Every structure is written in structure tokens, then in C-alpha cells.
Amino acid sequence: MDITVENVTREESEYYCSAQNDVGIGTSKPIHLAIQYKPAILLQSSCVLGSEGVTCHCIAESNPPATITWESPDNDDQIAQNPQPSSLVRGHRVTSTLQGVTVTHGEISCLATNKLGSGYRNFSLQKPDPHTNVLIIIPAVLFGVVVILVIAVIYRRKTRKTLFVSSRNSRARQ
């Protein structure tokens, strides 16, 4: 006898069989299903352009586990000349890390493949804008100066009131 289970999700993996008759109810031991699905690239995947080149992490989830490859339509030679990416498999999750690529522009793509299909994600690479830090630092410094000025004004007003009250008390005693 064949049983078809429809609309199964990745998370469902344990099933029981129950039967009932005049004698009673019987339940089977759990049956564990290995749900297979094509790769999906997770949002934690990223590419960062730093001083020592590009570092990319591609995280794919699938069953069976995916094989991850890296592509760059604009820069195939640079990717091919670099060391092989490292991969780490944990259960249904594969993390591939590409480090030290000297690409400074264009795109790098992560392609995850298994027998059920594939998933991919493109990462756009751009040189970091040297003015970005200035745009962050200047407002932060200005904010700091304003806070210090407000504290100084509040302090000064409190010390004046204290001096004014103490000088009044001194005159009243005389």
C-alpha cells in the first residue's frame, strides 16, 4: 500500500499511522521523512569590499546540501586566479566563503545547486566612497559640541542661582 503526503513543508518530518477498529486503536512508531528541496540563498549572505580585497559569504539551505560556486561575468579571470573558496556543511546549511578576491567593481554571484534545482544571489561591488566617513563624522562632532554647550549653559545657570541666593542671604544677615 502506498501513501501520498501532499503539501509537505521543510519543517515537517515526523509522521504516525493510526488505525482504529472494534478491538481498539493502534499507533505506529514515528516515521521520519527526509524532505528534499532546492537551494535557497539566505539573507545573511554578503560581500564586503575591504582593503585586502573582497570577502564573500554565501549561505544556502537545501536538502540534499547544495554545491556552491562563485561567478563574476565581468571578472572571471580574477576569481579563477584566487584560492578555492572554503565550504562548511552543517545539516542542510552550506556556507561558502570566498576571500581575497581583487575585484573592485562589477558583480559577483553565488550559485547554489543540488539535484532539485538552484538558487542564486548577485552582489554588486563598488569601491567605498571615501567621503562616506566624513558624512558620518561631521554630524557626530557637531552633535557632541551642542551637547557640551547645553550642559555648560545649564551648569552656569545653576551656579549663578546659587551665587545669587547666597549673596542675598549674606545681605539679609547684615
Q: What is the pLDDT of residue 85?
A: 78
Give residues with Cβ within 8 angstroms of 40, minimum separation 6.
60, 61, 62, 112, 119
Phi, psi of 141 (to 5 degrees): -65, -45
Cell triple for 47? 560581500
Task: Please determine, for residue 106, whether its predicted confidence score (pLDDT) is greater than 80.
Answer: no
- Reported as a single tens digit per residue, the pLDDT across 146-156 is 889 888 888 77
Out of 73-77, 98-102, 118-122, which region has the weakest mean confidence (pLDDT)? 73-77
Q: What is the pLDDT of residue 75?
A: 59
C-alpha to C-alpha distance for 12 and 9, rounded to whole angstroms: 6
Q: What is the pLDDT of residue 51?
A: 75
- Reported as a single tens digit per residue, the pLDDT across 11-67 is 767 888 889 999 999 999 998 887 889 999 999 999 888 777 788 899 999 999 999
Q: Tell me which of 143 and 173 has the higher pLDDT.
A: 143
Task: Please determine, for residue 120, whether its predicted confidence score (pLDDT) is greater than 80.
Answer: yes
Q: With bands split at pLDDT 50, 70 and 90, how would you rate the model's confidence at 143?
A: confident
